[in-house]
Structure formats: C-alpha cells, structure tokens
Amino acid sequence: MPDEGSPRSPLRYGEEITLGDVDAIVSFVSERIAQSARAPRGSDERQMARSIQFALKQLAGSLRHALPLVAAATPAEADDYTPLRTQIRSNWNTLRWLSAPWQIHDAYDHARWQDVKYWDVRHAAETESLLRAAIDRRDLGHRP
C-alpha cells in the first residue's frame, strides 16, 4: 500500500488503493447525500440516503480492514492473499460506482476514483497472457 502522503497519482491497480482514498470517497459521497439524509423520516429520499450510507459504511469498513492486512503480507504470502485482493478490488469498484453519479462535480477525484481491474502489473500481464492464449486456442479450433 503506498504512503498516504504520496502525490495523488492516477489509480491503476488495486495495490495502489490507500486508506486515504477510501476516506476521501466516503466523505465526498456522504457530503452529497447529507441533505437527503435529513429529509422527513420514512420518506423515499431519506431511505435512499440511508441505503447509500449503509453501503458506504460496509464497503469502507471492509476496505479499512483488508488493506492493512494485504499491505503487511510478505512476498512469500502473496498467493495466500489472492481472495482478499479480489475482495478489495470488488469493494473499491462498488464504492467508486456509488460516487459515479457525481463525476461532473468539481471535487470529484477523476485521477484516483477509477475502477481497478487488476491488483498489480504482474496480475495484469498474467491475465492478459491467459486471455491471449484462450483466444489463440479458440481461433485454432475455428480454422478449416
């Protein structure tokens, strides 16, 4: 996990997600829904805001728990953390999707609040290699 004080570079991989990213996106979305959360009790507007608040809390809590665990793993333990890394990417992407309706807002962090498809450069290369091999096998099977 990168240093929380490092410059805000574009987010490309799951390993680059920081606790600061999680806190920033949760704060941003929470500010956008604050007025709706104060709507009359039982109103659809308030219930929608509460639903978003609950989702933010669950996703952020999971990320705050998982990110330090993965960051503390040794290289020898890396494969043991594959399911947790997948969970981190999935939860981050869901959190990011909750913010997506506000992409036109001036405070939206387009550089950091990106979907992440791969955990790191190695994962991207391995996945792309597997995909190319599968396409090659398919293409070979379709030749006359």
> Each residue of 41-88: pLDDT tens digit?
999 999 999 999 999 999 999 999 999 999 999 988 888 999 999 999
Directed axis angle between helix 82-99 and helix 44-72, to 10°?
A: 150
Q: How far is CA 3 from CA 6, 55, 87, in A?
A: 5, 26, 21
Report the pLDDT value the prediction gives residue 58, as an integer from 0 to 100: 98
Round to whole Å and give the CA distance between 128 and 57. Answer: 34
Q: What are phi and psi of 2, to 5 degrees?
A: -65, 160
Report the pLDDT value the prediction gives residue 26, as an integer from 0 to 100: 98
Residues 6 or more apart whose Cβ sits within 8 Å of residue 32: 102, 105
> What's the rounded mean pLDDT across residues 5-27?
88
